[in-house]
Amino acid sequence: MNPIERVILTRRSVRRFGPEAPTEEAIGQLIGLACAAPSPMNRQDWHFTVVRSTQVRDRIVEAVERRWQALAAQAGGNEAVLSSYAGHFAAFRQAPVSIAVDIKRTATFLEHLLGEAAGRVQGDCLSAGMAVENLLLAAHAMGLGTCVFTGCVAAEAEIGAVLGLGPARRLACLVVIGVPDEDPPVPARRPLDDLLRVIR
């Protein structure tokens, strides 16, 4: 394998971390590499908020847990499913560093013209995803572990208030980073034939 293939194929989502936090320099380098990702019209509408404070982290976790508990209470026969889903977020508490990734809200005129497709046309969420993938791969190459959380977006308003994101920003995901304290196995992958279609 060439170095790029090796990094891609050996990266894993890590949910258990050692106590040592990545340095400010390392995090800055990762954010710089994330920002080298492509974006529509080179708008680079992503933004990264690095959280090292345990108090702020705990407030985020509590907001997410409250939100999912409230959703579970409204879920009819799906309470157990939603409650267990919320439990996966507990790993967020362990990480020494977390990064909130947010993007600009979709332009109002596009929403008026395109409806629910507006966000996909504007492409900012996709751009954030590409930037996050850069970050994940770069972190793995540096010997750091990462995990991406999107269930937290259910508590977007609450997290936005904690982080002071403002009404013009949308939360895309949270990424946790630290020194791995586990070596997760290779996850099963669906056969390529299930995922690929060629039109000739």
pLDDT of residue 68: 84
User: C-alpha distances in angstroms, 69 versus 90, 105, 160?
Assistant: 13, 27, 19
pTM of the model: 0.92
Topology of domain 3-195 in CATH is NADH Oxidase (3.40.109)
Contacts of 171 (CB under 8 A, 6+ apart): 100, 101, 102, 152, 153, 156, 159, 160, 165
- Residues 128 and 123: their CA atoms lie apart, in Å, by 9
- Tokens standing for 184? 């997760």
Helix 54-73 / helix 156-163 crossing angle, nearest 10 deg: 160
Percent of the chain with pLDDT over 90: 69
The residue extents of the domains of the chain are 3-195
Please write the tens of the pLDDT for every residue from 153-178.
999 999 999 999 999 999 999 999 99
Q: Which amino acid is at 5?
A: E
pLDDT of residue 71: 84
Q: Pick the residue with more confidence: 74 or 33?
A: 33
